[in-house]
Structure 1
């Protein structure tokens, strides 16, 4: 019984066709000129299939137009339902400003999508004429870009003022001297329209402008000559001035001073340092020799004084009389027997 119920519900769902995921809702989508965009529309159930469906477009108050019947979308629209029957999404490539508006995916129900297409609006400078400086033999970039870097302009032109008129140098190189030397720098950002000019020459100096639709940005390029290209002119002027000795002397002296002055300074410093070093060595040698002589003289004086002190030492004898007890008168004693001598040293 349960299996019959499942089969019954499946048959009801299959008979109702494709129920849209975003039924009766408005989805906001943003795209950029030159790019691609996907307008989503799909069945809610993965097993359901839309028997019939259409994509319609409404722009600028006009009535609804079938997308696949409009020649403006020829070659720019792709459906995904061939690989996934429940996926009814629409892919639009190479977007244009005219693609902006309301779209409707309609089966038994419908889903509404509002598509906004942003185009290229040039970034304007506060200056009417932008000054750019380059150097001969090198490269230069003239900056130009859209306010939306993802937006690719439908048409871009670079012009150069020559012979009292502007001539195109990109994409059509109508001036011979610019051929194979100019390119755009928009490999990663479609809105980067800057112009790269290689191998600059003095003839590239002048006025340029970047043009997108009715918008323009003007530039004035100045090309400066590098020092390497100026050197031959300096030698030429010196060789031509040999007929005027006074001018030649004035021109040749300044270059010699920076090279000769440091040599004299280095030589003089070397001599001074050498003299100071010799004087320092002589002073050290003199001090060492003088100190050694002073020590020898001091040692000799001490030995001499010691010898004199030994000679001046005189030994004196002091007589000490020792009284003895009184003896009878008749007893005679020898005085020499009671006399003792003590040694005394006297230092002069």
Structure 2
């Protein structure tokens, strides 16, 4: 009995066709210009199919218009029911501001969808003229971006003021010297419209502006030209002292090299003079010791000579003539006596 009831309800639902899963509801969807969006609509039962259905659009109170009959959607609309009969969703690509409004998916019931399409609002949308400095031979970026980076503007143009008129340099390079040197900075973010200019020259200096719809951002580019197309020396020294301390030893300019040579000469002369001074002091000290030694030896020699001169021996001979016979010879040495006396100088 229960199985028969299930079969009965199934036959009723199948005979009535597709019952929308979100019937009589309003669904809010947000898209971005240049992007794509899916407007959901499907049958509640996976086995049911819609014999007929329509998608209609009402933008700005103009009344309902069939999406499949409007040429504005030609080539931009795709239905999913070809692969899944119960899926009636609509895909709209390359969104535009004009696509914003109310959509209605209708079978025997209907579902409303309110689509909001966000366009590109430039972050730097001011009348102020921004100044940018670049260096010859290098690259420069002129900033321009949408507040929503997912937003791709319908039209973007970069203009350059030359010959008293603005000429387009992106996407159409109408100035010969800008060809193959300009591109958008980041192709992966649709909302990043910044312009990258490579191989800068002095001729690139001037006024530029980024244009999106009625919005503009203006820049004045100054190109500094230095010797060898390098940045000024002050920038190089700051970079070395901040990021590369191990490479601060640089070759000195030619006018400072003689100063270093003279320093080495003075140091060498100082060393030579110090050696000579030490040699002189050593020689004098050794010579003094020799003089003292000689003087001491002479004093001792003189002292010995004085002692020898102080004592002189004299001989006194006593002769006895009366008592001595004539024939007897006497030895004078036996009767000699010595008496010392001092000789005063």
**TM-score, normalized by length of structure 2?**
0.69
Q: Given the superposition, is the C-alpha separation of residues 105 and 126 from structure 1 closer, same or farther in structure 2, using an over 3 Å criterion?
A: closer
SS in 1 for 2:68: helix
Counterpart for residue 50 of structure 1: 50
After superposition, what is the alpha-carbon deviation per residue over 1:63-117, rounded to whole angstroms, capped at 9, x for unaligned? 1111111110011000000101111100000000000000011111111110000
1:211-247 superposed Cα distances (whole Å, 9 cap, x missing partner): 112111111000011332489xxxxxxxxxxxxxxxx
Partner of 1:259: 257
CA distance in structure 1 between the aligned counterparts of 2:101 and 2:274, rounded to whole angstroms: 93
Name structure 2 gaps, 5 residues minimum: 232-251, 279-345
Equivalent residue of 1:88, what SS? Answer: coil
Contact kept in structure 1, 2:27 and 2:114, CA below 8 Å: yes
Whole-Å separation in 2 of the counterparts to 1:164 and 1:26: 54
The 5 A counterparts of 1:10-21 are 10-21=10-21
What is the correspondence of 1:1-348 to structure 2 with a 5 Å cutoff? 1-124=1-124, 128-229=128-229, 255-265=253-263
Which is higher, the Rg of structure 1 or of structure 2? 2
- The answer on whether the counterparts of 2:127 and 2:218 sit within 8 Å (CA) in structure 1 is no
Shift of 1:125: 5.5
> Cα 1:119–1:125, aligned 2, differ >3 Å: closer, same or farther?
closer
Describe the SS at the equivalent of 1:114.
strand
Instruction: Give the CA deviation at 1:262.
Output: 3.5
Equivalents in 2 of 1:275, 1:106: separation in Å?
Answer: 111
Q: Secondary structure at the match of 2:15?
A: helix
4+ residue segments displaced more than 6 Å = 270-277
Q: CA 1:273 to 1:151, structure 2 compared with 1: closer, same or farther past 3 Å?
A: farther
Determine the C-alpha separation between the residues in 1 that align with 2:193 and 2:180: 17
Residues 126, 217 of structure 2: 8 Å contact kept: no
- The superposition leaves residues 92-145 of structure 1 with CA deviations (integer Å, 9 ceiling, x where unpaired) of 000000000000111111111100000112222666111011111111111111
What is the alpha-carbon distance in structure 1 between the residues aligned to residue 34 and residue 169 of structure 2? 22
Distance 1:114 1:214 in 2: 26
Residues 62/273 of structure 1: CA separation in 2 closer, same or farther (3 Å cut): farther
1:28 is paired with a residue of what secondary structure?
strand
Q: Which deviates more from structure 2 when the two are superposed, residues 65-74 or residues 147-156?
A: 147-156
**In structure 2, the residue corresponding to 1:68 is in which secondary structure?**
coil
Runs of at least 5 residues in structure 1 that lack an aligned partner in the other structure: 232-253, 281-348
Quote how far apart the aligned CAs of 1:268 are: 5.1
RMSD: 2.7
CA distance in structure 2 between the aligned counterparts of 1:256 and 1:140, rounded to whole angstroms: 35
Alignment partner of 1:69: what SS?
Answer: coil
Instruction: Describe the superposition over 1:226-285 as per-residue Cα deviations: whole angstroms up to 9, x where unpaired.
Output: 332489xxxxxxxxxxxxxxxxxxxxxx943333334444665677789999x99xxxxx
Indicate the residue corresponding to 1:345 in structure 2.
none
Deviates more, 1:18-27 or 1:67-76: 18-27
- C-alpha spacing 1:126/1:82, structure 2 compared with 1 (3 Å): closer
2: CA distance between counterparts of 1:54 and 1:18?
13
Instruction: Compute the TM-score of the two structures, normalised by the length of structure 1.
Output: 0.68
Contact 2:135 2:229 in 1 (8 A): no
Query: Is the alpha carbon distance of 1:3 and 1:209 closer, same or farther for their aligned partners in structure 2, counting shifts above 3 Å?
Result: same
Paired residues, number: 258
